Structure 1
Amino acid sequence: MEVGAGDRFLRLLIARSEDPVLLEATVRAARSRSELVAALPEEETRRHVRALVGGVLAALEDGGPSGEVLAAAERLGSDRARQGVPVAAFLDGFQAGRAHLVRTLVAEGRRTGVPDAALLDGVTRIDEITTALVHRMVHAHRITELEMARTAREARVQMLRQLLHGEAVPVLAPLDAAGAYHCVVSDVSDPAVAARLETELTAAGPGLCGLVDGRFAALAARLPAPVPAGPLLVAAPPARPADVGPMYGLGRRALRAGAAAGLTGLRELADLALLTVTEAEPEFGGLLAAALLPGLDPDEPFHRELAETGLAYLDHGGRIEPTAAALHVHGNTVKYRIRRLRELTGRPLYDPSDGAAVARTANWWWALHRWLAAAAT
């Protein structure tokens, strides 16, 4: 396009736009202001500087940036996002290159006699054009970052789902195929609560969290200490990612049993073994309740108090004071209720001298637990 005789700044820019010395100096200026830009291949910076100089020149000739020039700016912003260059570092490099280019052109214009008014007008027009280009670059950079974050996170969560469902898939970062992770399950479906739990579970070490089967689940290298309060979480013993499928199944079963028992907070899967097994066999529990607790009436509130006390007594190893503290009653009240329970059932609740004490205690615990569950319905 022919340049008007009066537009000496534009004539100067056209003359210098292909100057390899100016191009290289502008490239060095851009790379010197940003370590992350400098870490990219030099040809990558050179390619973008050449494209932007050409874009500014075309915009000056056309009275504003064309769609093609704006698209080039968007590609630059998107490329930098994919290269992992933050927008601030990216703009530092861009502005440094622009400033060097403008300073050089102004100095050259003054040397060759371009009027100051023409130089000022030219710099102002360049600023207007580069501002429009920056807006496009920043927008494209942020859009690409969001798309990459969604894509990367979804890929990681999909891997988590596949591992927990027992599928053989490649184990990628942030997990280590040779590492060991606690499989943590919950009934949390609220995204805000899930985000808080993810922060707590990954603060102690690497892990991967997400919604699996509609509920929050995680693979965590270490469990948080102290144990966080809040909704019930069940944590399995550490296992390699390829072996967590069965742990997930057991954890879900334990979670259902723990929720039915009114438990909250983080619980070890092994600690819920008896509760999980007995919860899965309600008929057996009913048989034990009928055999061991025939004298208790579920419609009698005092009998329900006796059963609750008996269950707490077993949970605390047959010790009076811890049982009383858990029930918020006096120790003598516990002694009286245990005595009445024995009178009504005709047999002792806890007898450490019994050769089958463990099995009998487990049967008592199961019977009381099932009796109370049935009485509550």
Structure 2
Amino acid sequence: MEPGGGDRFLRLLIERGADPAVLEATVRAARGRSEPVAALPEEETRRHARALVRGVVAALETGGPGADVLAAAERLGADRARQGVPVAAFLDGFQAGRAHLVRTLVADGRRLGVPEHLLLDGVTRVDEITTALVHRMVHAHRVAELETARTAREAHVQTLRRLLHGEPAPALAPLDPAGAYHCVVSDVSDPEVAARLEARLTAAGPGLCGLVDGRFAALVARLPVPHGDGPLLVAAPHTAPRDVAPVYELGRRALHAGTAAGLHGMRHLADLALPTVTGAEPALGRLLADALLGGLDPRDPFHRELAATALAYLDHGGRIAPTAAALHVHANTVKYRVRRLQELTGRPLIDPSAGAAVTGAANWWWALRYWLSTG
């Protein structure tokens, strides 16, 4: 490149690569090209897209990919192998993201008047750098794949996958075919985090753990003491190994509901029954909100405050003091807000005289959650 040309292209790459909209579009391109990559959590793809841009920028600044950039490429390749993503599918997603980023840079460069020969030189350098990264990623992927295939662990993970997918499993070791196990699901896709979870879950007894459908899952004999922090884990009641597939699917639905509610730590599947069911029927939630909350305006901050207080009031069994403590307000404030919401809607939140008081309270809870989440 001519003097100053490299700096100009580098500045363009840094500016566009740091743009959240460009990053998200690059992530969508990678996920749209490869189904196995799309099966991973979006944050997993986003994390590696950021690393790709940072690595290319660093290589352009220094004249080539350094040891740290190449090591990051090797980690990416090894991670995908351990997550069960085939190398071809992995590269499809990588190349789709790279192509989208290059197209964006060229289009922006032309719009800003960067000479064509500088753009060509810059794209050529990006291709040289990404080719070097691809070689490292493919090598690390193959090494990790071979290492995994040679271990008994891979056999255990394959058994876990078969059981959770409802497929025949020739051998269940280390599980007892006559035993019963908790099915634990999560959204964790990072192999290092998954390894820490496995150590914690198998400390109390035998189990099968691994990345299934790109996410950490387990069958364990006993659950550890629940923690309120860390990634969300949904644990089902004891189930026979050969009957666990429908429980796994139910656990994934509950995981989605718990994630939407902002929950963390270990949660029992039964405790997430209502959010799981209501989250699967948004049309009914909208119907209930229209029927019960017609007197509220979703654009009015005060009305949203009333609805949030009413939801907390129901979550705390209609008790004023715990609701006030949870919201960090005075008890009289809770009483006023509940009374005001009932005046606006023309209905009591909890009506002990009604024949179906529990159903009525559940309908209110569902309507308020839907209204607050979509307003």
Same fold flag (TM > 0.5):
yes
Unaligned runs of 5+ in 2: 1-142
- The one-letter amino acid paired with 1:330 is H
Q: Which moved more, 1:211-220 or 1:351-360?
A: 351-360
Q: How far apart in 1 are the matches of 2:341 and 2:228?
A: 36
Larger Rg: 1
Q: How far apart in 1 are the matches of 2:241 and 2:193?
A: 25
Q: Secondary structure at the match of 1:306?
A: helix
Match of residue 284 from structure 2: 284
Q: How far apart in 2 are the matches of 1:299 and 1:223?
A: 44
* Structure 1 residues 297 and 242: CA distance shift in structure 2, 3 A: same
1:65-214 equivalence runs, <5 A: 147=147, 150-214=150-214
Q: Secondary structure at the match of 1:210?
A: strand
- Aligned length in residues: 231
Which digits, 9 at most, give the CA deviation of each residue in 1:314-344, with x for residues without a partner? Answer: 1111111111122222212111111111111
- Do the aligned partners of 2:285 and 2:366 also contact (CA within 8 Å) in 1? yes
What is the Cα deviation at residue 294 of structure 1? 0.6
Q: Secondary structure at the match of 1:348?
A: coil
Q: Secondary structure at the match of 1:156?
A: helix
Match of residue 41 from structure 1: none
Q: How far apart in 2 are the matches of 1:325 and 1:358?
A: 24
- Do the aligned partners of 1:206 and 1:221 also contact (CA within 8 Å) in 2? yes
1:246-257 equivalence runs, <5 A: 246-257=246-257
* Structure 1 residues 210 and 228: CA distance shift in structure 2, 3 A: farther
What is the Cα deviation at residue 147 of structure 1? 5.0
What is the Cα deviation at residue 363 of structure 1? 0.6
* Structure 1 residues 150 and 334: CA distance shift in structure 2, 3 A: farther
Match of residue 271 from structure 1: 271
- Do the aligned partners of 1:288 and 1:366 also contact (CA within 8 Å) in 2? yes
Q: How far apart in 1 are the matches of 2:155 and 2:333?
A: 58
- Do the aligned partners of 1:286 and 1:367 also contact (CA within 8 Å) in 2? yes
Which digits, 9 at most, give the CA deviation of each residue in 1:51-88, with x for residues without a partner? Answer: xxxxxxxxxxxxxxxxxxxxxxxxxxxxxxxxxxxxxx
Match of residue 113 from structure 2: none
Q: Secondary structure at the match of 1:322?
A: helix
- The one-letter amino acid paired with 1:323 is T
Q: How far apart in 1 are the matches of 2:148 and 2:327?
A: 53
* Structure 1 residues 302 and 159: CA distance shift in structure 2, 3 A: same
Which digits, 9 at most, give the CA deviation of each residue in 1:189-215, with x for residues without a partner? Answer: 111211111111111221111000000
- Do the aligned partners of 2:228 and 2:264 also contact (CA within 8 Å) in 1? no
- Do the aligned partners of 1:183 and 1:238 also contact (CA within 8 Å) in 2? yes
Q: How far apart in 1 are the matches of 2:360 and 2:147?
A: 60
Q: Secondary structure at the match of 1:211?
A: strand
Unaligned runs of 5+ in 1: 1-142
Which digits, 9 at most, give the CA deviation of each residue in 1:326-376, with x for residues without a partner? Answer: 22222121111111111111111012232101111111011001001111x
- Do the aligned partners of 2:200 and 2:224 also contact (CA within 8 Å) in 1? yes
Higher relative CO (Cα under 8 Å, sequence separation at least 6) belongs to 2
Q: How far apart in 2 are the matches of 1:192 and 1:157?
A: 16
